[in-house]
Amino acid sequence: MPDIVTAAMIVIGDEILSGRTKDRNIGHLADMMTAIGVDLKEVRVVADDEDDIIAAVNALRHRYDYVFTTGGIGPTHDDITADSVAKAFGVACDYDEKAMALLAQSYAARNIEFNDARKRMARMPVGADHIDNPVSVAPGFRIGNVHVMAGVPSIFQAMLDNVVPTLKTGTRLRSATVSCPHGEGIIGGPLAKIQEAHPDTIIGSYPKYLDGTFSTDLVVRARTQAALDAARQAVEAMVAALPAR
C-alpha cells in the first residue's frame, strides 16, 4: 500500500489578510512537499489574534502529520505566534538560552544593541527544538508536529531546507496530462463517472481559453503506475469519443 503523509500550513499575519503583503510561501511549501511525497492538504490564513492562532494550530495538528506556520516570530508587539503555539500545547513560552546566546553574539558582531524587542525573537515554547536560520540567525522552532518559521520568504525557505531532511516522506504522486479540445461543460458528466470508477486516482480539469476557444487539460494523479495508466486510458477514450469540433 502507498504510504500517505499529510501536512497543513498556517499563514499568520494581518498584513496578509489586508493585502499589504503578498504571500510567497504557500507555493514554495507546496512545491517542496510535492517533491518529497507529502500531501499538503490544507492552508489557513489567520490574523495576529491569539485565539485564532491557537484554534488553527490545535485543529490542524491533530488532523495532519505535519503543520507548518509562517509569520509572527519577529521582534514587535504583534508577533505573538510563539506565545500562541505554546498555549496550544499547554506549555510556557520563555526565553530559550541557546537562542539568546546566538542572537546576542550576532548583534554584538554587528555592533547593534541587543535590546528587549530583539530579545523577543529568542522566546519559544518550553521544550521546543530549534529550526536553524542561516539567513538572520533568529531560529524558528519545532514542538510536536508543528514547525514554526519566519514569514520573510528568503528566511522561510532557508528554514524549510533544514526541516525537510527531518520529515517522514510518503509515496510520491505520479501524474499524466491528457489534452481535451472541449470545455468543462461538455466533459463534466463523463469525467465524474471516470473519477468514480477510479477511486485510487485524483483527476483534475484545468480549463483554458485562447483565441475565443475553450479547451481543457485533464490531469490524472495516482500513487501507482497501474492506477495511473488505467485512469489515463479511460480519460483518453472519453476524449476520443467526443464529437470533433
Q: Can you give the C-alpha Rg of the chain in angstroms?
A: 23
Extract long-range pairs of 184-189: CB within 8 Å, 24+ residues apart: 184/214, 184/216, 186/242, 187/216, 187/218, 187/238, 187/239, 187/242
Residue 244 has pLDDT above 90, yes or no: no
Model confidence at 42: pLDDT above 90 = yes
Instruction: Look at the chain and report how many structural domains it folds into.
Output: 2
Using CA atoms, how far residue 2 sits from 29, 62, 65, 71, in Å, is 22, 22, 16, 33
- CA distances, 244 to each of 88, 135, 191, 206, 238 (Å): 58, 56, 18, 20, 12
Pair 148, 80 in one domain: yes
pLDDT in tens, 124-138: 999 999 999 999 999
Looking at residue 171, its pLDDT comes to 87
77 and 154 part of one domain: yes
Rounded-to-integer distance, Cα 198 and Cα 192, Å: 10
Alpha-carbon distance values, 210 to 16, 177, 217, 244 (Å): 32, 18, 13, 18
pLDDT for res 1? 61
Closest CA to 25 of 193, 149, 144: 149
Residues 151 and 182 in one domain: no
Mean pLDDT of 20-43: 95
Rounded percentage of the chain residues whose pLDDT exceeds 90: 88
Q: Are residues 25 and 99 in the same domain?
A: yes
Is 114's pLDDT higher than 70? yes
Q: Is the pLDDT of residue 235 over 90?
A: yes
Domain boundary among 138, 166, 194: 166
Write down the pLDDT at residue 170. Answer: 87
| 46 plus 64 within the same structural domain | yes
Please report which confidence band the pLDDT of residue 30 belongs to, taking 50, 70 and 90 as the band edges: very high
Question: Does position 2 have pLDDT exceeding 80, yes or no?
Answer: no
**CB of 12 closer than 8 Å to CB of 70:** yes
Judgement on whether residues 68 and 184 belong to the same structural domain of the protein? no
How high is the mean pLDDT of the chain?
A: 94
Overall average pLDDT of the 188-209 stretch: 92
Indicate which CATH number applies to the domain containing 151. 3.40.980.10
- 122 and 195 belong to one structural domain: no
Q: Are residues 187 and 153 in the same domain?
A: no
Mean of the pLDDT values across residues 72-77? 94
Same domain (yes/no): 214, 114: no
The confidence score (pLDDT) of residue 191 equals 93
CB 155 within 8 A of CB 139: no
Range of the domain at 63: 5-166
Query: 163-186: per-residue pLDDT in tens?
Result: 999 999 988 889 999 999 988 888
Average pLDDT over every residue of 202-226: 89
The CATH number assigned to the domain holding 188 equals 3.30.70.600
Give me the mean pLDDT over the 22-28 stretch: 96
pTM of the shown model: 0.86
The three state secondary structure string of 93-109 is EEECHHHHHHHHHHHHH
Tell me, what's the pLDDT at 186? 87
Question: How much is the average pLDDT of 11-34?
Answer: 96
**What pLDDT sits at residue 245?**
67
Q: Is 70 exceeded by the pLDDT of residue 150? A: yes
C-beta of residue 239 within 8 angstroms of C-beta of residue 190: no
- SS (HEC) of 205-223: EEEEEECCEEEEEEEEEEC
Domain boundary residue among 166, 195, 214? 166
CA distance 117 to 154: 22
The residue out of 118, 136, 166 marking a domain boundary is 166
pLDDT of residue 89: 98
pLDDT of residue 213: 84
Q: Residues 183, 88: one domain?
A: no
236 and 182 in a common domain: yes
What is the rounded CA–CA span in Å between residue 222 and residue 231? Answer: 9
Please list the alpha-helical segments (H only) found in the chain. 14-18, 25-36, 50-61, 81-89, 97-109, 116-119, 153-163, 184-197, 225-241
Asked whether residue 220 carries a pLDDT value surpassing 80, the answer given is: yes
Is 134 in the same domain as 193? no
